[in-house]
Amino acid sequence: MTDSASLDSFLAKWQAQWPEWAVAEVFLPAAQRQRARAWLALRGELAEAAWGGEDPTPGAAKLGWWEEELAGWSRGARRHPLGLALQKQPADWRMLADAIPALRASRHPEGDRAAALRGLEPFAAAVSAVSAELFDAAPASALAMADALLAEWVLRLPERGIPAAGTDVSSLLALPPLRDGARPERLHAALVHGRLRRLSRGRSGPMPPPAVLFAAWRAARG
């Protein structure tokens, strides 16, 4: 398989997990759409490794691999197909690599929600900074991005056999989705927020297209 075909495969994998994106991405400039899909697919790979599956061992090993891979991107090297769309972009991949230990530790956060957010902040700050560089935007605050990441963490709990209803979903829904930072991050946070709202009502799976359109329009406005 060629590098281009492998890249398309990873983008298609992420798109299958987030079919709402086909509607949401209309609020991005056409020139940014593939880059946004690649960035969010990378975010998805990292989140799946950190928070997915009942056994944390394979994911921890994968995060170690990604730590090396992203450090390589900072030196101009790449192995993963997503690097074809991302590695040459002017972004601080070393910062993201250095933040992966904090992401790994967030699988089992200790303490209350405030402690969980503090634990996520190093990774959240890196995500915010890199996405701002990729999409020529002002970064969101680390705390706001950590809130958005915590919402993603809750969505992945069922993959581990943990009922998401047992977590403090209401406190996350009381906050608005991400309002600052790069537009792709705001759009994705709106989709996460929408799925959380569905989860709180006993529903799962993607949002219906009209709800996606309205949520994405609001997120694009900032």
Q: Tokens 């928070």 label which residue?
A: 51
pLDDT at 186: 97
For residue 97, give the nearest of 130, 120, 121 by alpha carbon. 130
Kindly tell me the burial class for residue 204, based on how many C-beta atoms sit within 10 Å of its own C-beta (0-12, 13-18, 19 or more): exposed
Between CA 185 and CA 143 the distance in angstroms is 14
C-alpha distances (whole Å) from 118 to each of 4, 103, 124, 208 are 38, 11, 10, 33
CA end-to-end span of the chain: 40
For residue 181, give the nearest of 122, 134, 124, 140 by alpha carbon. 140
pLDDT at 162: 65
> What are the sequence ranges of the domains in the chain?
3-221
Q: 167 or 9, which is more confident?
A: 9
Q: How confident is the model at residue 102 (pLDDT cuts 50, 70, 90)?
A: very high
pLDDT at 75: 96
pLDDT at 101: 96
Tokens of 62: 């994968």
Q: Average model confidence (pLDDT) for the chain? A: 92
- Residue-wise pLDDT for 162-183, tens only, equals 666 556 676 777 777 899 999 9
pLDDT at 156: 85
Between CA 119 and CA 113 the distance in angstroms is 10
Q: How confident is the model at residue 39 (pLDDT cuts 50, 70, 90)?
A: very high
- Residue-wise pLDDT for 70-83, tens only, equals 999 999 999 999 99
Q: Tokens 């991400």 label which residue?
A: 178
Q: In one letter, which amino acid is 147?
A: D
Q: How confident is the model at residue 96 (pLDDT cuts 50, 70, 90)?
A: very high
Between CA 124 and CA 142 the distance in angstroms is 5
Checking if the pLDDT of 13 tops 90, the result is yes
What top-level class would CATH report for the domain 3-221?
mainly alpha
Q: 202 or 58, which is more confident?
A: 58
pLDDT at 1: 64
Q: Cα Rg for the chain, rounded, in angstroms?
A: 16
In this structure, of 27-41, 109-123, 154-168, 179-193, the range with the lowest mean pLDDT score is 154-168
Q: Tokens 């970064």 label which residue?
A: 139
pLDDT at 201: 84
DSSP category for residue 206: P
